[in-house]
Amino acid sequence: MTMNIRGRIVLSFGGLSLAAGALLVACGSSSSNNAPPGESGPGQSCTQTSDCKSGLNLECLANVCIAPAITTTSTSDAGVGDAGGDAATTTATGPHLGLVGEACQTTQNCSTGLDCVASEFGTVCEVVSYGLTPTGMTCSGECNTATDCCELPLDVELEYLPEGGGFTDIAVHSCQDVLTALGGSATPCTSGGTISALQKQACFYYETYCQCATGTWACSSSHQCQYTAPCTAGEANTLGGCPTENRVGASGESTCTIPAGSATGSCLPPTCSTASDCNGKAVTDVSGAICTASNCTCYQSACYLTCQGNLDCAAGSTCDTTTNLCKTAACSISADCVATTANSNAQCVSGACKIPCTTDYQCNGGSTGSAPTSFNGQVCSSGYCTPLGCSSNADCTSSEVQMFCVTPPTAGEHSAITGGMM
């Protein structure tokens, strides 16, 4: 036992001697032997690990190239030698590779899957590729079936004029609130008797959003709620009229168009074959607007207000002289995109502004010199930053109202903001 203890003491003093010698060599080399990058040997000066000779598994610590740490394990084994002793096992460990957020000088200093990138704290190891593929879908669907449209809009108010004068508002948050406004029953809506203005409103909301009979709503091919029940009155949001809102907001169908000689009409914009068919009919994409002689055209069976020049269109749109309709403006040079996106890297590609990229990290703020603090919904796809999109309805959480994850309709021609002349 005494011999074993003495053996450990000698080994410890020997280790101290070796360490002291290494320090002397390091101090002398770092100040007097400045080798070229990649040529510094053990104990010689460096500024980064790449300055040290390859193949020696060196790392740059405190501006000195040193060998990796050596782990020594001593075990007592009476079978070793005549008197027994310690058997030493040495295991070499490589240099520490940076984790997320740790400082680095090159990507080689980072763990697998991380790159060395610029941040507000200097260069650090970060994840730059998220492994996500754009879906091409958006949370723009109002419905998947017609029954999805049978839901009260938010913040509904029934406005009526009581006998004492002055308008009064009743907030409606549920179908029960509507029934309460009717006195607890929907009987007045079907009794055929004279009912008040308040009851006409309440009956309209109850029939449109609560009772919701077959044929009241339809879900279009672009997943939009369309009011399809017949109308008989010009006033919106009242019995026989058209709704100004569907379950997610403005419906664009508040005008009741009644053909000559008919007792009922439709809240949907009518179809057309020629421009003359649009006279006196509702404009397809402008709520409350009516086509008059020569200010509308028929495009893809729908009526739109025409344009004569770009000034007739909303900002960001131009007038298509072939269809006389407005369309989203296309870029012609990259300088246009730099101005509109405020990104100096923006490029004009096939008439669309795009931001080039090589990693997902760049599309989320990593190209501005500071690490992105959150994912903004962009990924790098085919060399350009692209919205990730949604993959299910569960991804649609940014809106107060539940939306549906659908393939968005292709943006096309739309009405002028002022009617032109053909």
What is the per-residue pLDDT across 170-222, written as a single tens digit (0 to 9) for each?
889 999 999 998 989 999 998 888 888 889 999 999 999 999 999 999 999 88
pLDDT given at position 92: 57
The residues with which 3 forms a beta bridge, in sequence order, are none
Distance CA 404, CA 391 (A): 10
Number of independent structural domains in the chain: 2
pLDDT given at position 388: 94
* Residue 62 or 220, more confident: 220
- SS3 breakdown of the chain: % helix, strand, coil, rounded to 5? 20, 25, 55
* Residue 80 or 320, more confident: 320
**Would you say residue 322 lies in a domain?**
no
Whether residues 92 and 109 fall in one domain: no
What is the band of 342 on the pLDDT scale with cuts at 50, 70, 90?
A: confident
Whether residues 20 and 41 fall in one domain: yes
Q: Note whether 211 and 185 are within 8 A (CB).
A: no
**Would you say residue 397 lies in a domain?**
no
**Of 280, 279, 257, which Cα lies nearest the Cα of 268?**
257
The parent domain of residue 118 ranges over 97-127
Residue with tokens 């669907």: 141
Whether residues 38 and 108 fall in one domain: no
Whether residues 108 and 75 fall in one domain: no
Tell me the percentage of the chain whose pLDDT exceeds 90: 36
Q: For residue 418, give the DSSP letter.
A: S
**Would you say residue 216 lies in a domain?**
no
Taking residues 36-48, report their average pLDDT.
77
Distance CA 28, CA 123 (A): 30
Tell me the percentage of the chain whose pLDDT exceeds 70: 79
pLDDT given at position 82: 52
Whether residues 35 and 118 fall in one domain: no
**Is it the case that residue 270 has pLDDT exceeding 50?**
yes
**Is it the case that residue 28 has pLDDT exceeding 80?**
no
Residue with tokens 């009518």: 270
What H or E segment, with its residue span, contains residue 240? none
Whether residues 23 and 92 fall in one domain: yes
Whether residues 81 and 104 fall in one domain: no
What is the band of 93 on the pLDDT scale with cuts at 50, 70, 90?
A: low
- As a whole number, the mean pLDDT across the chain is 80
Whether residues 103 and 29 fall in one domain: no
**Would you say residue 18 lies in a domain?**
yes
Residue with tokens 């026989």: 240
Q: Note whether 258 and 249 are within 8 A (CB).
A: no
**Of 164, 205, 198, 169, which Cα lies nearest the Cα of 183?**
198
pLDDT given at position 27: 38
pLDDT given at position 346: 93
Whether residues 53 and 105 fall in one domain: no
**Would you say residue 14 lies in a domain?**
yes
pLDDT given at position 128: 87
**Joined tokens for residue 12:** 């410890």
**Would you say residue 204 lies in a domain?**
no
Query: Which of 56, 73, 96 represents a domain boundary (last residue)?
Result: 96
**Would you say residue 197 lies in a domain?**
no
The number of helices, as runs of H, and strands, as runs of E, in the chain is 5, 24
